[in-house]
Amino acid sequence: MDHVFHNMTRRQLLQTATASALVMGTPALSGCSSLPKYQPSGVAKSKALYIIHGEVVDVVRGVILHDRTIVVRNGYIEAMNDQIPSPREGDMVLDLKNKFVIPGLIDGHCHATMPGESVFNPSGFLTTMHQLKRNYVQQIKHGVTTVRDMGAMPKVLHSFITQIEKGELTGPRVVFCNSFTNVYHGHPSIDPADVSIFLPMGAALTGDMSLWFKDTKELSEKMRENSSRGASFIKLTMDKKSCLAGKSEIPVYTDEHLNMIFDYAQKNNLATSGHVHTKFGFDRTLQYGIGSMEHSIADAVLTEKDVAAMAKKKIAIVPTMIIAQMLAAEEAFEERPDKYRTDFIDREMKIRQEYLNSLLDDYTERSIHERNIAYLKTYRKYGLDNLYQKGKYMANPEIYFNILLVGPPNLMAMKEEGILIGCGTDAGVPLAYHGTLWREMELLGRIGFTNTEVLQCATINNAKIVGMADKIGSVEVGKYADLTILQENPLIKIETCRKPQMVIKNGEVYDTDKIKLNA
C-alpha cells in the first residue's frame, strides 16, 4: 500500500515518527500555539449589560422588533423592552445604533477536532495543532455560539472544552457525542494503521474517533464508557456503502446491535443521530426512529410515503448540502458527466470554484488549503476505482454529485411536510472549514428556502435538534445571552451573516474585528 512514508530514508522516518507522536500527544501540547489570546468584554456577576437600539430579529415569527433594549445579567437575557436604561455603577451599556440582532448561530454538524486536511501530514504537526485551536475561534468570529460535534478524538475535545470554559480559548459551547458508535470497519471505513503506523499508538493519548466494536459485549462496554464522559447523544452510521472512492460495501449493524443501541439510548436519555447517504440507511432510520438524519440521500428521490413516514416519526434532518458541493469534485473527471450538467449543479460548481480560488485565511491555515487543492490532482493520477487500494482515502465524488441532483427536491419535500430541518457544515472533513455556516445557509436559499426559513434552520431548529431549545436558538427572556450582531437585515439580505459585527456568548462581548487567528 502507498503510505505517507513510502521511499523515506530511515532518518526521515524517525523524524516523522517523532512528529507523529507529538501530534498524537495533542492534550499535552494544547497550550503550544501562536494563537493570540482574546479577552471579551463583559460585566461582573450580578451587574447588568444593557444592549440598546437593537433591531431584534424574531426568528420564530420572521419579524423585526424595532429599537429594543436587551437586559443581560449573569449570562442570561433578563428582559427585553423599548426602554432606555438608567445604568448603575458597574453596569455596561452597548449601543448597537440600529444594527440587527439574531440569536447566536448554531453549527448543527461539525467535527471540532479535525483540521479539514485531505491527507495526514505528520511533519506539519504544529500547523495542525494551531488549526485545531483555530477551529473554535473561527466559529465565534463568524457568529456561531454553539456547535454540535458529530464525532471527535474525545480526549482532545475535552481538553479544548476545558480551555473554553476557563476562558483560555475563544470558542462556542460544544454539544458532543464523543466517538462514533460503529461496527468494526464500518464508516468511515479507514483503519488508522493504514494511514500511519503511529496513529493506533496515538489513540491512547487522543481517544479514538471510532468506537469500533466486534460483538455485543464490546458494544455494551464501549457505549457505557463513551456516554460516561458527558455525551448527550449517540452518533450512528446507517449506510452499507462506503463514501470513499474505490471502496464498495462496508459492515453494518445487525438488528441485535441496533436494538441494543436504541434501548440504551432510551434508558439513558440520549438522543440518536445517524449518517445517511443511501435509501438503505434511510429505511433503517425510519425503522428505528432515529432522532436526526445527518447529510442527504444520494441514490433515491423519496416518495410522498417516505417523507410522510419521516414526519410521523418526528425525524429531523441536518442536510449539510454544502459538503456535497465541496466533495462533488470536478477534478476527478476529464469532463464532468452529462448527467451532472444541470443548471443547479452548474451554478454550484461555479460557486465552489470561486470559493476554492479565494483567499480563505479566515477559515483555515493557508498551507492546509494549498495542500488540499494540490491533493485534488490525486483523483486523476490514480483513477477513482484505484484510490482505496492505493491508500488514498478520498470521497467518491459521484455520491456527492448525486446528492446535488436529488437532495434539493428531497429537502423541499421534507420542508413542505413540516419536517424539522437544521443547518450544519461537516466542518473538519477535507475542504470543509470551521466558521463557514453562512455557506450552508446561502445554499439552502439557492435550493428554495426563504431567508426566514434559513435563519430558523441555523438557530431555533438547530436548538431543538441539539436538545437546547429552552436555552438557545431565539432572542427571548430566560435564554442564554447568545447574540450575533449584523450590519444589515438578514430577512432581506442573508449574505450579511458572512461577517458579523459582534458576537455575544453568555453575555460576554466579542468584537469580531479584534479576534485574531494568527500572531
Kindly tell me if the per-residue pLDDT of 202 is higher than 80: no
Strand partners for 475: none
Q: Is residue 26, in this structure, part of any structural domain at all?
A: no
Distance CA 404, CA 425 (A): 15
Q: Is residue 7, in this structure, part of any structural domain at all?
A: no
Do 193 and 245 lie in one domain? The reply is: yes
Distance CA 449, CA 444 (A): 6
* Amino acid at residue number 208: D
Do 113 and 82 lie in one domain? The reply is: no
CATH of the domain at 191: 3.20.20.140
Do 451 and 487 lie in one domain? The reply is: no
Contacts of 108 (CB under 8 A, 6+ apart): 148, 318, 422, 423, 424, 458, 462, 465, 466
Q: Is residue 9, in this structure, part of any structural domain at all?
A: no
- Backbone Cα Rg of the chain: 23
Q: How long, in residues, is the chain?
A: 519
Strand partners for 110: 149, 427
Q: Is residue 164, in this structure, part of any structural domain at all?
A: yes
Number of domains in the chain: 2
When the pLDDT of each residue in the chain is averaged and rounded to a whole number, the result is 91
How does pLDDT run across 292-311, given as a tens digit for each residue?
A: 999 999 999 999 999 999 99
Alpha carbon separation from 166 to 159, 160, 170, 174 (Å, rounded) = 11, 10, 10, 14
* Better-scored residue on pLDDT, 19 or 352: 352
Q: How confident is the model at residue 477 (pLDDT cuts 50, 70, 90)?
A: very high
Q: What is the pLDDT of residue 55?
A: 98
Q: What is the pLDDT of residue 122?
A: 74
CATH of the domain at 496: 2.30.40.10
Distance CA 401, CA 5 (A): 32
Average pLDDT of the segment spanning 31-54: 88
Do 116 and 229 lie in one domain? The reply is: yes
Q: What is the pLDDT of residue 200?
A: 61
Do 268 and 369 lie in one domain? The reply is: yes
C-alpha angle 402-406-409 in degrees, rounded to nearest 5: 160
Q: What is the pLDDT of residue 206?
A: 86
* Better-scored residue on pLDDT, 190 or 320: 320
Do 481 and 453 lie in one domain? The reply is: no
Do 359 and 261 lie in one domain? The reply is: yes
Do 387 and 263 lie in one domain? The reply is: yes
Please identify which residue in the block is written with the cell numbers 432510520: 285
Do 157 and 261 lie in one domain? The reply is: yes
User: Which of 433, 453, 472 is where one domain is finished?
Assistant: 472
* Better-scored residue on pLDDT, 63 or 35: 63
* Owning domain of residue 149: 105-472
Do 326 and 241 lie in one domain? The reply is: yes
Q: Is 53 in contact with 97 (CB distance < 8 Å)? A: yes
Q: What is the pLDDT of residue 17?
A: 39
Q: What is the 3-state secondary structure (H, E, C) of 404-419?
A: HHHHHHHHHHHHHCCC
Neighbours of 45 (CB within 10 A): 9
Q: Is residue 4, in this structure, part of any structural domain at all?
A: no
Q: What is the pLDDT of residue 3?
A: 35
Q: Is 414 in contact with 317 (CB distance < 8 Å)? A: yes
Q: Is residue 1, in this structure, part of any structural domain at all?
A: no
Do 383 and 518 lie in one domain? The reply is: no
Q: How confident is the model at residue 104 (pLDDT cuts 50, 70, 90)?
A: very high
What is the DSSP code (8-state) at residue 118?
A: S
* Better-scored residue on pLDDT, 413 or 195: 413
C-alpha angle 218-222-223 in degrees, rounded to nearest 5: 115
Q: Is residue 24, in this structure, part of any structural domain at all?
A: no
Q: Is 315 in contact with 291 (CB distance < 8 Å)? A: yes
pTM for this prediction: 0.94
Grid coordinates representing 515 are 479576534
Q: Is residue 130, in this structure, part of any structural domain at all?
A: yes
Distance CA 419, CA 421 (A): 6
Do 145 and 262 lie in one domain? The reply is: yes
